[in-house]
Amino acid sequence: MKLLQRYVLVELLKVFFFLLSALTVLLVFVGVFREASASGLGPSQAMKIMPYVAPSMLPFTIPATLLLTVCLVYGRMAGDQEITAAKAAGINVTAMLWPSIILGITLSFGSFALTDRVIPWAMGNIKRIVTAAMEDIFLDVLRSQHTMKIKDHGLEISVMGVHGRRLVRPVIQYTPAGRSTITVQAQEATIEFDLDEQVAHLHLVRAFMDLPGQTSDYHERIDRTIPLPFKDDETNPRHMTVIELNRDVKRRSDELKRRRQRRDINTAGALLLGEFDELVAGESGSYEHQYVYDREDLAKGRTQIHSRYALASSCFFFALMGGPIAILQARRQFLTSFFMCFMPILILYYPLVLLMINLSKLDIVSPVWSVWVGNAILLAVGVKVITKVRQH
């Protein structure tokens, strides 16, 4: 039995690593192209981030690749009557499914480790590379497009050309919120980047400043600080480890309790003094609004933690369902078995999982059980199919 199971396991590993390598390489190039396009990276920076993009692709490619692998291996074995020969020799078909189940469990742990440890590390390195290349990106955009808009800060920079670090005849238009546009024209300018503060120090030489309703003022030199358009203060929860997520959830939970206490005290005071308008339009109303926002924020953090475990475990449930279905089909055309397994997963499983994740983020359902609904359905289908395989 150990010899037969080793044979099945070796077949699974050979097919799995071949398919995983091919699919990952394809998706890595797509991921690098997307990241380069979004951040304005050049070819050299794109090559530097390529080794870090691969880990972020693996949690998505591993489950589908495992499902394709078990459909291919067990479908071919059943089509070649190897399963029938093993059963005729008195070998329980469940014993032949153990290698795929063990592989699914191992890959589930591996997928979780990738999601929880490797991806945050990889994304941190990608951010470091993009930040280090920010000065070149900024100047390359001006050199190629001769203009750059920073909409969040109402800033637009146009130049005639870029010579090294020197901007030739720059025109800067700054539009504060709710105010008129201020225009500055200069003969030339130099720019210095402070990557720690994510700002650029602009030094304008022989500049004219046009203020709304006033004549132009000439300045021999103007120094200004402008924000870089690549700054991102919000940390993506996907780029945090479970330990960091738990710490953030605890902090938000404590803050929510304090806010709820302040809301209750303020409400009690308004009722005691008869200030009923304050319950809707005053501080109580603002507390209630912030309280709802904090609850949704807390629900997003909890959902991210539980969904990380559930999605990583999908490898086990895919293997549990895919192998028996491939044996029942008993066809050498593994794509038939694969599509019979994958299409319901694509049409039903992933939409259901995404629906539950979104409902959990809105604090409508509890993520403790909702994100596992899809896996529970796969478990029920897998147990039913295994029972049928054992009987026939």
Cα 38 to Cα 23: distance, rounded to the nearest angstrom? 23
Most confident of 4-13, 137-146, 287-296: 4-13
Lowest mean pLDDT, pick from 23-32, 76-85, 242-251: 23-32
* pLDDT at residue 181 tops 50: yes
Cα 309 to Cα 304: distance, rounded to the nearest angstrom? 9
Backbone angles phi, psi at 212, to 5 degrees: -60, 125
- For 12-46, what is each residue's pLDDT tens digit? 999 899 988 888 888 777 767 766 665 556 676 67
Q: Which residue has the higher pLDDT, 307 or 33?
A: 307
* pLDDT at residue 233 tops 50: no
Tell me the DSSP string of 211-246: -TTS--EEEEEEEEEEE-TT---SPPGGGS-HHHHH
Query: Are β-strands 166-168 and 171-174 bridged in parallel, bridged antiparallel, or unpaired?
Result: unpaired
Residue 104 and residue 319 in contact, taking contact as beta carbons nearer than 8 Å? yes
Q: Where are the beta strands (DSSP E) in the chain?
A: 147-150, 155-158, 161-163, 166-168, 171-174, 182-194, 199-210, 217-227
